Amino acid sequence: MAHLDHRTTLGHVALLRYAHVLDKARLPEGHGNVYGANLGIRADAYDAVGGFGSLSTGEDHDLWRRLGQGGHPRAYADHITVTTSARTRGRARGGLADLLDSLESTAGPPV
């Protein structure tokens, strides 16, 4: 599970929207979010599915999907967390920064 850095400049409504996004992603077996920052994989499973793909964004999600398709056990752990930047200008297009920026710039009340 990734928590946003407490030094965020995101507004209250954007933080509520982010919490809603996380809640919608919850699965019976855990939080349902995949971030490269807190992704642990056995080397043999990583090698078996070909490692990270040559993608400009979403390579962590792609790897996670291929691990599941390959029959490798996967687990979500709510009790193991990382703290990540809440920046809205990131390096990876389509990454967390873009999501946070869209939540910050969306008009209206939290969903």
What domain range is 68 assigned to?
34-75
> What single-letter DSSP state applies at residue 37?
G
Provide the number of structural domains found in the chain: 2
Shared domain for 38 and 21, answered yes or no, is no
* Same-domain check for residues 101 and 83: yes
Beta-carbon contacts of residue 38 (< 8 Å; ≥ 6 apart):
1, 2, 80, 81, 82
Q: Is residue 63 pLDDT above 90, yes or no? A: yes
Q: Measured between alpha carbons, how far is residue 89 from residues 25, 45, 76 in Å?
A: 23, 33, 27
Local confidence band at 44 (pLDDT 50, 70, 90 cut-offs): very high
Q: Is the pLDDT of residue 106 over 80?
A: no
